[in-house]
Amino acid sequence: MSEAKKDIRQSGLGKAFFVGFLLLSMVLFLALGFWQLDRLNWKEQLIASANDRLAADRIEVPAASTWANLNADEFDFQKVQLTGQFLECCEARVFISLPKKRDRYSGPGYWIVTPFQLADGGTVYVNRGFAPQELTLPKAQYAPAPEGQLMLEGYMRRPERVGSATLEPDLAKQVDWVINPPRLTEIMFPELDNVAPFYVNLSSPVAADLPQAPDEAALNFTNRHLEYAYTWFGLAALMPILAIFWLIRTRRTRQELAKSESED
C-alpha cells in the first residue's frame, strides 16, 4: 500500500472516529436533557404536594404505635403539633450553610437537633433551628432547650439521605452532616429507644431568637431542573455544528495540501 493511500485510510478512520464521538456525545446529552425534564416533573409534584400539606390543617403528631407503617411520601411536610418535653441528655448539631441575606443569621452553621419525649410515649428529634458557626463552637451561645412540658408546632420531614460521600459524625463536638434519626440514634445517642423515623422542623422559636426557627430556611424549595435541561439540550445541539465545522475545515486543509503538492 502506497504512503498516499495509507494516509487517506488513516485520515478516514480518524474522521469516522471523531464524528462518531460527537454523535455519541449528542445522544448522551439528549438523554441527560430528557432525564432532567423527568426530574423537573418530579420536583414540581413534590413542591405541589408539600405546599398542599403545609396549607392543610395541623394534626397531632402520629402515635408511636403507627410509626412502623408510616409512608414518607405521605407524611413529608405534614403540619403537626406535639406535646412533651425536651431531653436534657442529648443534642446534635447538623452542619448547614444558609444562603446569605435570607434571614437574620445565615452562612455556615448548624441545625440544633434535640430529642423530644412525647407525653404519650416515643421520642421525636426536633430541629429547633439554626445557629451560626461562630455562636455554636467551641462554646454554644444559643438558648438551651426549654425545660418542662411543652406544646410545639412544626412539620414532619423524612430522614435526610446518608450517601457514600456523607462524612462520619464528630462525636466529640456532637456534629453530624445529615438529620437522619436512625443514624443519630445508632451513632450518637444509643441510649434512646422508640425513636420516630421522621423528625420535626419547628415553625417558630421556642426560647429566644437563637436558634433561629428553621421554618423559612428549610422551606426554600429550589428547582433548577429546567435550567439544567436547557444546558444539556444546548450541548447536544452544539455537537452536529462542531462536526460540520470540523469536516469543512479538514476538507479545506486537504484541498490546500493537495494543491500545494501539485504545484511542487
pLDDT tens digits for range 34-58: 999 999 998 888 788 878 887 888 9
Q: Is the pLDDT of residue 9 over 80?
A: no
pLDDT tens digits for range 104-127: 777 889 999 999 999 999 999 999
What pLDDT sits at residue 256? 52
Find the mean pLDDT for residues 219-230: 84
Q: Is the pLDDT of residue 2 over 50?
A: no
pLDDT tens digits for range 238-263: 998 988 887 787 776 555 555 555 55
pLDDT tens digits for range 168-215: 999 999 999 999 999 999 999 999 999 999 999 998 777 666 777 776
**What's the whole-number average pLDDT of the chain?**
84
Q: In sequence order, which residues have a C-beta less than 8 Å from that of residue 130 and are 6 or more positions away?
A: 96, 98, 103, 105, 109, 110, 111, 112, 211, 212, 214, 217
Residue 193 C-alpha cell reads as 429507644
Stronger pLDDT, 18 or 253, i.e. the higher one = 18
- In degrees, rounded to 5, the angle at the alpha carbon of residue 181 between the alpha carbons of residues 175 and 187 is 55
CA dihedral defined by 71, 153, 206, 92, rounded to 10 degrees? 0
Evaluate whether 86 touches 150 at the Cβ level (below 8 Å).
yes
- In degrees, rounded to 5, the angle at the alpha carbon of residue 179 between the alpha carbons of residues 143 and 75 is 105
**CA distances to 97, 107, 158, 168, 205 from 165, in Å:** 17, 22, 19, 9, 32
